[in-house]
Amino acid sequence: KNQVEQSPQSLIILEGKNCTLQCNYTVSPFSNLRWYKQDTGRGPVSLTIMTFSENTKSNGRYTATLDADTKQSSLHITASQLSDSASYICVVSEFSGGYNKLIFGAGTRLAVHP
């Protein structure tokens, strides 16, 4: 069964610190992997999209990595800010039946404290 698992489930860090969120997946055939940020009560916002051939992609203080061989991805947040407090969702795209089907992880809830 195609699955996306994220860890940790939740995380508390101090403002200014770095952190890394993990995503493991069993989706096949793989099309791409996405990271989204979702503030409470808002819609998710795309951070990065990586295809099979890309192993790192940055968006400001966010850097995503992808190891397609081990089917693992990480999202590294540098110099965290209070506004980084949100849920971070890993989404893997499965190419099936001629179209891409998105499979969502449950998310990591990050709290940044002053």
The contact set with other proteins (CB under 8 A) reads 31-32, 34, 41-46, 49, 51, 89, 93, 95, 97, 99-102, 104-107
- Which strand (E) or helix (H) includes residue 113? strand 108-113
Q: Which residue has the tokens 């940790």?
A: 8
Nearest to other proteins of 42, 114 (CB atom): 42
Give me the amino acid identity at 17.
Answer: K
Smallest gap from residue 58 Cβ to other proteins (A): 15
Smallest gap from residue 99 Cβ to other proteins (A): 6
Nearest to other proteins of 79, 102 (CB atom): 102
Among the listed residues 9, 35, 22, 7, the one whose alpha carbon sits nearest the alpha carbon of residue 92:
35
Smallest gap from residue 105 Cβ to other proteins (A): 7
